[in-house]
């Protein structure tokens, strides 16, 4: 296949992707990577996931091991300590890890897409060395502080202030729903440098944690993904050097939106992992549970459910892969990313809901993982862009395509 | 995969093992050679169904993955290289095209290069420890290997013969069921797990060692290593090139599933128990 496409002037990577589209099989590198993550998730994450969820415990040991494998910084170039792979590989990694433990999946995703992502794209060389390299090994994780108690979807209405005082920025305000914050060593914070400019007045800042003037609210007691910490970040007279601004003044909103475009693929991957785990659970049960004299897998009602579940997952997966490949090819991918996140998160909630149904009473108790998948899936429709926002993004893109 | 006339043994193994690849079946033969060298045999295990014609097991569409004991052997080889006690680790596999995946996994763990000994079709179905050990012996001479490490046995046929046969063919010392191996000058100190406990021996190199469960915990391939594995070479060799005849000396008569386990019977007293055992002709 490569020999065929080389005369067309396509380089090796494009040839691989074309091979994928023709043979519908991932390139060998990605298959190996996927298998490694799958093995790790099955052996190291799945056995402890239920306990991590019960204890609301951050999987520090596993995060370090994942860091050693390169999974905490998949897209970061090797020169900065990362694995130097592409976004498709990252999505595969997050999916396989989430299949074992959804909380670990989101910890990996937030570090990769929401923390390392914007610094990689908008940071200076100095900032990259300082804020990226220590966060590639799993020893430290980062977080992303955009949402506030007063605005989630309405990101442009940020009220956290950043005022310049001499050679320092002084940040004040509160950020809400920040994943990883209790375990993080740094954060990307969005604050407004000029409220009158509305969303064009928002800038991005890098703040180490802990830091004077930065305090954390109480850990939220969540429905799902309980092993990852979520809390408010309170900034009161928090002073950082001028060099801690990420990108240009007023670029903050842009940085946030671009970061979320990629981040939502990570969440799509997480949702796929949760959905797949729920399907694994249901299909296994369908073989083992007997009713009316035969395994329930023989009953059409169950078969139709399994078929719909598998279809939802596979469609969302292909959307996710396509969006990731577009991003890797440096083509516009906003619409596809929104579609992927929407499809995957709705697949996760649908599949985990049906999984409980297939398991019946057993689905409702903690003995089986179905109830945890149900709880974990729900957040995927909310964070990094609610399903409603995804629909708006898709619609805007469609209307632009059909512009009169 | 080696099928012997001990049909019952093979068949009873088949049904008690599951597959570790999320329900996907897998199979391969994969020995590893190195240059100052570590030889590791990799094999994998199979979720098995007996073929309807009872001549063997279903192997169509079977995914390959590495035998757990062989993974341990690869890990040990790489550890020796990291300690700078060996120069090069070569991973070898005997089998059809699919075994290349398994070799790549070994490369991703840290092996330097691979050798694929191509055996396919009918030859592969009848390939067993004797032929594999002959191939190894030939490769060891060709590559001038100093050390061969294999898994103690493959979990598809549980033969536990290949390592020992290689040593015999090459007239090399062997340290089997190793739970610890330490290189001391030109000798390898091997702690063997035997039925009676632990036995420590010292064998002169070149030698053959087979890995047991507690030798080490294999590493997960890191993403950068998976990328590097792509660039490492896998050479292609045929058994004939090594002067090895892979014809089998054994003929499989039939392969059966083990008899279905019967329900047990509960008894109230010891007398009842003795009575029932007598009835069943066991006492």
Out of A38, A84, A280, closest to residue B224 by CB:
A84
Nearest-CA distance from B221 to chain A in Å? Answer: 7
Compute, in degrees rounded to 10, the torsion defined by CA atoms A319, A321, A327, A331. -60
Chain centroid to CA B147: 16
Which residues of A are less than 8 Å from B223 in CB distance? 33, 36, 69-71, 74, 83, 85, 89, 93
Q: Does A78 touch chain B (CB under 8 A)?
A: yes
Q: Does A28 touch chain B (CB under 8 A)?
A: yes
- A36/B104 CB distance under 8 A: no
Is pLDDT at B106 greater than 80 in this prediction?
yes
Nearest-CA distance from A3 to chain B in Å? Answer: 18
In A, minimum Cα distance to B100 occurs at A28
Which residues of B are less than 8 Å from A33 in CB distance? 223, 226
Q: What is the pLDDT of residue A218?
A: 96
pTM: 0.83
Extract the tokens encoding A85.
């792979």
Q: Does B224 touch chain A (CB under 8 A)?
A: yes
Domains of chain B: 7-282 (3.40.50.620)
Q: Does B66 touch chain A (CB under 8 A)?
A: no
Contacts with A, B 185-204, CB within 8 Å: none
Calculate what percentage of chain A has a pLDDT beyond 90.
91
How many CB contacts within 8 angstroms connect chain A with chain B? 49
The stretch B244-272 carries a mean pLDDT of 87
The torsion angles phi and psi of A203, rounded to 5 degrees, stand at: -125, 165
Is pLDDT at B1 greater than 80 in this prediction?
no
Closest CA to B32 of B129, B145, B130, B177: B145
Structural domain boundaries of chain A? Answer: 28-140, 143-252, 260-402
- DSSP character at residue B20: T
Q: Could you tell me the pLDDT band of residue A15, with boundaries at 50, 70 and 90? A: low
Which residues of A are less than 8 Å from B101 in CB distance? 28, 32
In A, minimum Cα distance to B102 occurs at A32
Calculate what percentage of chain A has a pLDDT beyond 70.
94
| Least confident interval from A46-50, A207-211, B123-127, B151-155 | B123-127
The stretch A88-106 carries a mean pLDDT of 97
Q: What is the pLDDT of residue A23?
A: 57
Q: Does B104 touch chain A (CB under 8 A)?
A: yes
The stretch A49-68 carries a mean pLDDT of 96
Classify domain A28-140 at the CATH superfamily level: Acyl-CoA dehydrogenase/oxidase, N-terminal domain (1.10.540.10)
On the 0-12 / 13-18 / 19+ scale of CB atoms within 10 A, B84 is exposed
Crossing angle of the two packed helices A252-288 and A102-109, in degrees rounded to 10? 160
- The helix, strand and coil proportions of chain A, stated in percent and rounded to the nearest 5, come to 60, 15, 25
For A115-131, how does the pLDDT look when each residue is reduced to its tens digit (9 = 90+)? 999 999 999 999 999 99
Q: Could you tell me the pLDDT band of residue B2, with boundaries at 50, 70 and 90? A: very low
Contacts with B, A 368-387, CB within 8 Å: none
Is pLDDT at A391 greater than 80 in this prediction?
yes
Which residues of B are less than 8 Å from A68 in CB distance? 222
Nearest-CA distance from A73 to chain B in Å? Answer: 10
- B223/A28 CB distance under 8 A: no
Is pLDDT at A154 greater than 50 in this prediction?
yes
Q: Could you tell me the pLDDT band of residue B60, with boundaries at 50, 70 and 90? A: confident
Is pLDDT at B33 greater than 70 in this prediction?
no
Average pLDDT, chain A: 93
Q: What is the pLDDT of residue B158?
A: 87
For A221-234, how does the pLDDT look when each residue is reduced to its tens digit (9 = 90+)? 999 999 999 999 99
Sorted by sequence, the CB contacts under 8 Å of residue A352 that are 6+ apart come out as A274, A275, A278, A370, A373, A374, A376, A377
Out of A32, A42, A69, closest to residue B22 by CB:
A42
Closest CA to A88 of A314, A326, A335, A325: A325
Average pLDDT, chain B: 81
Residue A82 has a CB neighbour count (10 Å cut-off) of 25
For B215-257, how does the pLDDT look when each residue is reduced to its tens digit (9 = 90+)? 999 999 999 999 999 899 999 999 999 999 888 888 888 888 8
Distance, CA of B204 to CA of B167 (rounded, Å): 12
Extract the tokens encoding B2.
């080696």
Quick check: ipTM above 0.85?
A: no
CATH number, span A260-402 = 1.20.140.10
- A70/B222 CB distance under 8 A: yes
Residues of A designated as active site: 384
Closest CA to B54 of B257, B258, B260: B257
Q: Does A70 touch chain B (CB under 8 A)?
A: yes
Q: Could you tell me the pLDDT band of residue A101, with boundaries at 50, 70 and 90? A: very high
Is pLDDT at B12 greater than 60 in this prediction?
no
In A, minimum Cα distance to B109 occurs at A36
Compute, in degrees rounded to 10, the torsion defined by CA atoms A105, A108, A109, A115. 160
Distance, CA of B226 to CA of B106 (rounded, Å): 10
- A69/B223 CB distance under 8 A: yes
Q: Could you tell me the pLDDT band of residue B64, with boundaries at 50, 70 and 90? A: low
- B223/A40 CB distance under 8 A: no
Fold of A143-252: Butyryl-CoA Dehydrogenase, subunit A; domain 2 (2.40.110)
Q: Could you tell me the pLDDT band of residue B70, with boundaries at 50, 70 and 90? A: very high
Residue B243, Ramachandran bin (φ over 0: left; ψ between -120 and 50: alpha; else beta): left
- A28/B230 CB distance under 8 A: yes
Is pLDDT at A362 greater than 50 in this prediction?
yes
Q: What is the pLDDT of residue B14?
A: 24
Q: Does A134 touch chain B (CB under 8 A)?
A: no
- CB < 8 Å & 24+ apart, contacts of A394-399: A394/A335, A394/A338, A394/A339, A394/A342, A397/A334, A397/A335, A397/A338, A398/A335
Distance, CA of B75 to CA of A51 (rounded, Å): 30
Q: What is the pLDDT of residue B74?
A: 96
């Amino acid at each position: 296949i490569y020999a065929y496409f080389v005369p067309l002037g396509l380089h090796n990577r494009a040839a691989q992707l074309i091979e994928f589209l023709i043979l519908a099989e991932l390139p060998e590198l990605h298959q190996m990577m996927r298998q490694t993550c799958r093995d790790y998730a099955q052996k190291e994450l799945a056995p402890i996931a239920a306990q991590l969820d019960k204890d609301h415990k951050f999987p520090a040991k596993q995060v370090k091991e994942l860091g050693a494998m390169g999974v905490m910084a998949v897209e970061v170039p090797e020169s900065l300590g990362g694995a130097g792979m592409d976004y498709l590989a990252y999505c595969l990694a997050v999916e396989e890890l989430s299949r074992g433990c959804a909380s670990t999946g989101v910890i990996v995703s937030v570090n990769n897409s929401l923390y390392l992502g914007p610094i990689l794209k908008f940071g200076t060389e100095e900032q990259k060395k300082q804020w990226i390299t220590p966060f590639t090994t799993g020893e430290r994780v980062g977080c992303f502080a955009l949402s506030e108690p007063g605005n989630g979807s309405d990101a442009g209405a940020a009220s956290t202030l950043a005022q310049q005082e001499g050679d320092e920025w002084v940040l004040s305000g509160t950020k809400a729903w920040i994943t990883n914050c209790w375990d993080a060593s740094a954060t990307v914070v969005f604050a407004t440098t000029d409220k009158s400019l509305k969303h064009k007045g928002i800038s991005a800042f890098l703040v180490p944690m802990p830091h004077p003037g930065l305090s954390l609210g109480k850990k939220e007691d969540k429905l799902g993904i309980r092993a990852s910490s979520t809390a408010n970040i309170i900034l009161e007279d928090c002073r950082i050097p001028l060099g801690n601004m990420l990108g240009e003044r007023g670029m903050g909103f842009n940085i946030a939106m671009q970061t979320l475009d990629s981040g939502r693929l990570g969440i799509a991957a997480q949702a796929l992992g949760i959905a797949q785990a729920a399907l694994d659970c249901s299909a296994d049960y369908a073989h083992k549970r007997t009713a009316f004299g035969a395994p329930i897998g023989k009953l059409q009602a169950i078969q139709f459910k399994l078929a719909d579940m598998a279809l939802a997952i596979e469609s969302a997966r292909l959307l996710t892969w396509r969006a990731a490949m577009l991003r890797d090819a440096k083509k516009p991918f906003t619409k596809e990313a929104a579609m992927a996140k929407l499809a995957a998160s709705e697949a996760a909630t649908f599949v985990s809901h049906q999984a409980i149904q297939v398991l019946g009473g057993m689905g409702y108790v903690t003995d089986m993982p179905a109830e945890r998948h149900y709880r974990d899936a729900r957040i995927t429709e909310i964070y990094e862009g609610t399903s409603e926002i995804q629909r708006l993004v898709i619609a805007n893109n469609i209307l632009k395509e059909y512009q009169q | 995969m080696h099928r012997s006339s001990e049909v019952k043994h093979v068949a009873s193994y088949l049904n008690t093992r599951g597959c570790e690849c999320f329900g996907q079946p897998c199979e391969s033969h994969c020995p590893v050679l190195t240059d100052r060298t570590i030889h590791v045999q990799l094999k994998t295990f199979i979720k098995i169904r007996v073929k309807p014609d009872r001549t063997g097991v279903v192997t169509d569409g079977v995914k390959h993955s590495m035998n757990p004991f062989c993974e341990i052997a690869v890990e040990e080889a790489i550890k020796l290289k990291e300690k700078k006690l060996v120069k090069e680790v070569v991973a070898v596999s005997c089998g059809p095209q699919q075994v290349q995946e398994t070799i790549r996994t070994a490369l991703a763990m840290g092996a330097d290069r691979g050798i694929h000994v191509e055996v396919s079709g009918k030859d592969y179905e009848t390939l067993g420890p004797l032929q594999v050990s002959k191939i190894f012996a030939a490769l060891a001479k060709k590559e001038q290997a100093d050390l061969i490490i294999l898994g103690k046995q493959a979990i598809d046929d549980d033969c536990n013969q290949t390592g020992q046969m290689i040593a015999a063919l090459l007239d090399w010392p062997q340290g089997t069921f190793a739970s610890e191996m330490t290189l001391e000058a030109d000798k390898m100190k091997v702690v063997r797990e035997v039925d009676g406990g632990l036995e420590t021996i010292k064998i002169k190199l070149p030698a053959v060692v087979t890995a047991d469960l507690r030798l080490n915990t294999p590493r997960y391939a890191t993403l950068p290593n998976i990328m590097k594995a792509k660039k490492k070479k896998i050479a292609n060799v045929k058994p004939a090139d090594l002067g090895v005849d892979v014809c089998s000396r054994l003929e499989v008569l039939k392969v059966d599933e083990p008899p279905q386990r019967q329900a047990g019977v509960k008894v109230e007293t010891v007398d009842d128990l003795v009575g029932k055992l007598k009835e069943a002709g066991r006492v």
